[in-house]
Structure 1
């Protein structure tokens, strides 16, 4: 029998991008590559919030889950138990810490974790200083300006409520709002309002309620708490989520000593959840009293106006002109008769006087008339062009016309004697 040589080993791709379905990397090679890459990373400081702490008595290592306070991301951290025990205050879930660690990859489990050698809790003073810095940045962007705040509707049909699970804040808002306006409806989202998941869950609830067109107001409620408990409501991601809402937001965190940044960016700030209930809906009993008072004022105003008009009407009716309506006509008729009589007298007097003046003028006119002179036997001699006034104006042989009181004569000039009567001869004219 001829012996067969073993198959030659498969040559693996040198780089990840050179792998193919026919020539893939085995899991061990990929794990070793990841381990090699992660091991080249330098130790670093990372900040987060402790959401899980596993510390067994007698164990040399303690295990922590470190979560980002503004996003749904976390990493496991392994730390020497002596480091945890040396902390000035016990490490608890919800603590805000800064960890110095090196990333490590465990090939057998295919997991990445941080190997920590130092843990430092972040003090309240430092957190407040960061909040003040964030407050200045957001104020410079105009997120706290009064001009961008929207008014609340007078009577919303549906109110969105973001609160803790089975919290007293929810009870205060719902019970007091229904006591003021029983027909009000709520869309309630119960979420974590403190701890590592608070920012993520509150932001998601706000986005869901803001997208609902039936929700006209959103109330963000919490029943107070310590400074550490209220840190999520000063988180930048949550503050910007409130600022981005198109629906008016009422902040009812219920903390008078410190003001979370959500209170500054919200459209309205309520001191407590109960105060928020008073702000979002009117009091039905108070509104009924207001309507009743308004109706009484309207009724009194109408009655007063009617009474005033009645008094004015009575005053007008009591005047003599309305008591005896014919008085005005009678007085006017008497005045018209008096004026008519006066006009007749004036017209008669004027006519008589004008007639007398006319007679006088007529007499003077008759006395001065040439016809009267002719009637006394005089005659008027004239040429075709003019009246003859002097003998020098005619010559012998001229033919003249003599106007008499009783007709005309044609005369011929037979002689002329200046300074004396002229001699004429004539006969009757046909005219």
Structure 2
């Protein structure tokens, strides 16, 4: 039986993180040692980034610098010996500076006491302009194959935007060029300006955020991204893949005004309109009020001349019509047909009268013939029609034998009839 005053044995620590629990956790020192052991097994690797801080203390054997991702705010500390830094003098006479793009050959190291991760580098190489251009060309082919540069997806600029969104550097000449020249062309134009970093590690993040913010404003009809000229390295943020994809995703038309005529970052290809300079961007986003007024005056003059010419042609046509005889004496149009109608009526009357007269003569001849052949005409000459009336009805008496004595007779005369009986 154990001694009650003897302390209980410490619980056995889990061998893996999956075996920990609230009742049996890892202490911080054990977790730190586990991380240290894991990081120690990681191999050497090449890492690319931008130098944002260099700590080179005189007399120190180690140089500290901070390497930042080109597209995000993530960064890692890097340590390298002075001998490694000295090898850069041949290609970078001024040494490592803020914003220099480099690739380092380093191994991750974990400092358990501070709980921090860093990179120990044994080689640092600057990314040359030729290599940068090759990478940009590869990225250009990839994005083009995805259709981000196709003309079909580009939107037309509005004729007169309500508000122009402007993304530019802080107190930059590009901002003055766009705003001043746009207001010279159209004094009533309104701007929604977002001043951001246009070079360096923070440029991509700030420009993307500004473009998305302006795209979300319903009154902004067009967004201009403007920057003055610069070296290839200075303009790299505007060829960044994250920035290019962000511009391709917005609904508002975008004008790219980066650098000068010879500069061609990838933003120019994905934007709806490419302006050669910020001044050219101002010319493209708003019309020139003087030109528009001149155009309106020209159109009004053309319309006035066209209407006047049309009225003159119509007046000439009316005069020509009025000078014709048919309009000088309109009754001529009626007199001729009226006389023809009267002639035809008279001709029809004569024809109908002659036809009626011939018909009347013919009817008279027929009436005479009918009278001559009528039995009544015979009766009028003194003849009579004698009929014997018997049970079978009356019958004409043609012979004396047709009416024996005692036969009832009916004698029809010209103007009546008589009854008699044979004796």
User: Following TM superposition, by how much is the alpha carbon of 1:367 offset from its aligned partner in structure 2, in angstroms?
Assistant: 1.8
Residue equivalent to 2:293: 288
Residue 206 (str. 1) matches residue 189 (str. 2): no
Task: Judge conservation of contact 1:13–1:25 (CA < 8 Å) in 2.
Answer: no
- CA change 1:29–1:366 in 2 (3 A) is closer
User: Following TM superposition, by how much is the alpha carbon of 1:386 offset from its aligned partner in structure 2, in angstroms?
Assistant: 7.6
Distance of 2:64 and 2:397 partners within structure 1: 164
Please point out which of 168, 188, 192 is paired with 2:173.
168
User: Following TM superposition, by how much is the alpha carbon of 1:375 offset from its aligned partner in structure 2, in angstroms?
Assistant: 2.2
Could you say what secondary structure the match of 1:305 adopts? Answer: helix
RMSD: 3.7
Task: Judge conservation of contact 1:12–1:25 (CA < 8 Å) in 2.
Answer: no
Residue equivalent to 1:115: 120
Residue equivalent to 1:420: none
- State the Cα deviation string for residues 97-138 of structure 1 (Å, max 9, x = none): 221222334466664322111112333444334334433443
User: Following TM superposition, by how much is the alpha carbon of 1:262 offset from its aligned partner in structure 2, in angstroms?
Assistant: 1.9
User: Following TM superposition, by how much is the alpha carbon of 1:147 offset from its aligned partner in structure 2, in angstroms?
Assistant: 3.2
User: Following TM superposition, by how much is the alpha carbon of 1:291 offset from its aligned partner in structure 2, in angstroms?
Assistant: 0.6
Task: Judge conservation of contact 2:229–2:263 (CA < 8 Å) in 1.
Answer: no
Residue equivalent to 2:417: 408
Could you say what secondary structure the match of 1:159 adopts? Answer: strand
In the alignment of these two chains, the number of paired residues is 405
Describe how 1:227-376 pairs up with structure 2 within 5 A. Answer: 227-254=232-259, 259-328=264-333, 331=336, 334-335=339-340, 337-376=342-381
Which structure has the larger Rg over C-alpha atoms?
A: 1
TM-score by length of 1: 0.79
- State the Cα deviation string for residues 72-91 of structure 1 (Å, max 9, x = none): 12122111122122134114
Could you say what secondary structure the match of 1:187 adopts? Answer: strand
User: Following TM superposition, by how much is the alpha carbon of 1:221 offset from its aligned partner in structure 2, in angstroms?
Assistant: 1.5
Distance of 1:273 and 1:231 partners within structure 2: 18
Task: Judge conservation of contact 1:379–1:405 (CA < 8 Å) in 2.
Answer: yes
User: Following TM superposition, by how much is the alpha carbon of 1:358 offset from its aligned partner in structure 2, in angstroms?
Assistant: 2.4
- CA change 1:340–1:120 in 2 (3 A) is same
Residue equivalent to 1:131: 136
Could you say what secondary structure the match of 2:304 adopts? Answer: helix
User: Following TM superposition, by how much is the alpha carbon of 1:194 offset from its aligned partner in structure 2, in angstroms?
Assistant: 2.2
Residue equivalent to 1:73: 74
- CA change 1:400–1:186 in 2 (3 A) is same
- CA change 1:67–1:363 in 2 (3 A) is same
Structure 2, unaligned stretches of length 5 or more? 1-6
User: Following TM superposition, by how much is the alpha carbon of 1:304 offset from its aligned partner in structure 2, in angstroms?
Assistant: 2.1
Residue equivalent to 1:84: 85
